[in-house]
Amino acid sequence: MAPAPFALQPGTRVYVAGHRGLAGSAVWRALGARPGLELVGRTSSQLDLRDRAGVAAFMQEVRPDVVVLAAARVGGIKANRDYPLDFLSDNLQIQVNVMDAAVAAGVQRLLFLGSSCVYPKFAPQPIREESLLTGLLEPTNDAYAIAKIAGLLQVQAVRRQHGLPWISAMPTNLYGPEDNFDPESSHVLASLIRRYDDAVRRGDRSVTNWGSGAPRREFLHVDDLAEACLHLLEAYDDPSPVNVGTGTDLSIAELAGLVASATGYEGETRWDETYPDGTPRKLLDVSRLTASGWSARTGLAEGLVETVSWYRQQKS
């Protein structure tokens, strides 16, 4: 790995695409804690990143030094199953427009957020970065994954063709403040929080979750992701994407137990095995990230208590 070419110092102008989303808002908060950075953000209603001419004009006007590309169309299993075309098309357009405009505006440093779903369904566990493009994808979110893989390749192509030190990170499953709790499009952890919180408020004596509870997954607090992004912007310069996770996983049944405890739920948990489980295990190998000098800090039980409290405040 070459020496890092960049320092986030006072006066550095950083555009965070998707600065109100789960990941982007955490990156925005972490950047805001650094003195003197100039932060730029636009909501999707101010600037739709699918609008190629609008994105090009914006980038020429703002001319950021750094871009964090955390804008994407994102969703859980149900949304991916029902809207594969939107996941493919929107994400390809967002990525191509932002990265082409950033090349044209001479952006020196860009961090693209990929996703652990880009790895093959049967990749050896824990999943190393080298597993990319070595096997078939999980069919339930293949359209989204193909779009994300195109983004990773675009970053590598910019490095080869223009010599710019752009990088990609592959976060594992994220959770924390600003997560999406919509029952139609949320990810597993947010949907569990919502379900158990509803049960507590209604006084239900049982909660039924989808699947068997056996699949194993990894969860990273978004504030940890944000710290990792800042670290990578300053310390990582390699064409290979870098996994960002905790390096430990747990079963969905164990996760449900932690969510039940964080919400104060004391009833029974049942599992509806007519729903599919998806990939049996998904854990990222984080040795590349650790070797670069960063590891996650927030314990899952602690992060869940904080996220439940944020969710309840939002609801009230």
Ligand X SMILES: NC(=O)c1ccc[n+]([C@@H]2O[C@H](COP(=O)([O-])OP(=O)(O)OC[C@H]3O[C@@H](n4cnc5c(N)ncnc54)[C@H](OP(=O)(O)O)[C@@H]3O)[C@@H](O)[C@H]2O)c1
The reply to whether 174 sits near ligand X by the rule CB under 6 A is yes
- Decide the pairing of beta strands 216-217 and 219-221: unpaired
- For ligand X, the closer of residues 79 and 200 by Cβ is 79
The correct pick among 97, 173, 191, 298 for binding ligand X (CB under 6 A) is 173
Chain Cα centroid distance, residue 126: 18
Residues facing residue 109 across a β-bridge: 66
Which lies closer to ligand X via its Cβ, residue 177 or residue 199? 177
* Interface with ligand X in residues 13-72 (CB under 6 A): 18, 20-24, 43-44, 48-50, 70-72
- Closest of 295, 211, 316, 222 to residue 255, by C-alpha: 211
* 110 φ, ψ (degrees, to nearest 5): -135, 135
Given the complex with ligand X, which of 72 and 230 has the nearer CB atom?
Answer: 72
Asked if 187 is part of the footprint of ligand X (rule: CB under 6 A), the reply reads yes
Structure tokens at 50: 């699918």
| Contact pick of 30, 31, 67, 74 for ligand X (by CB under 6 A) | 74
Q: How far is the CB of 83 from ligand X (least distance, A)?
A: 13
Catalytic residue among 15, 119, 144, 265: 144
Q: Alpha-carbon distance 115 to 152, whole Å?
A: 10
Amino acid letter for position 229: C
Torsion 256-273-170-111 (CA) sign: negative
| Minimum distance, C-beta of residue 204 to ligand X, in the bound complex (Å) | 27
Is 265 noted as a catalytic residue in this protein? no
Least gap, CB of 262 to ligand X (angstroms): 18
Distance CA 110, CA 114 (A): 13
> Is the CB of 178 or the CB of 204 nearer to ligand X?
178
- Name the burial class of residue 75, with classes exposed (0-12), middle (13-18) and buried (19+) by CB atoms within 10 angstroms of its CB: buried
* DSSP classification of residue 139: G
Least distance CB 9 / ligand X (angstroms): 25
Active site residues: 144
Chain residues binding ligand X by CB under 6 A are 18, 20-24, 43-44, 48-50, 70-74, 90, 94, 113, 115, 171, 173-174, 180, 187
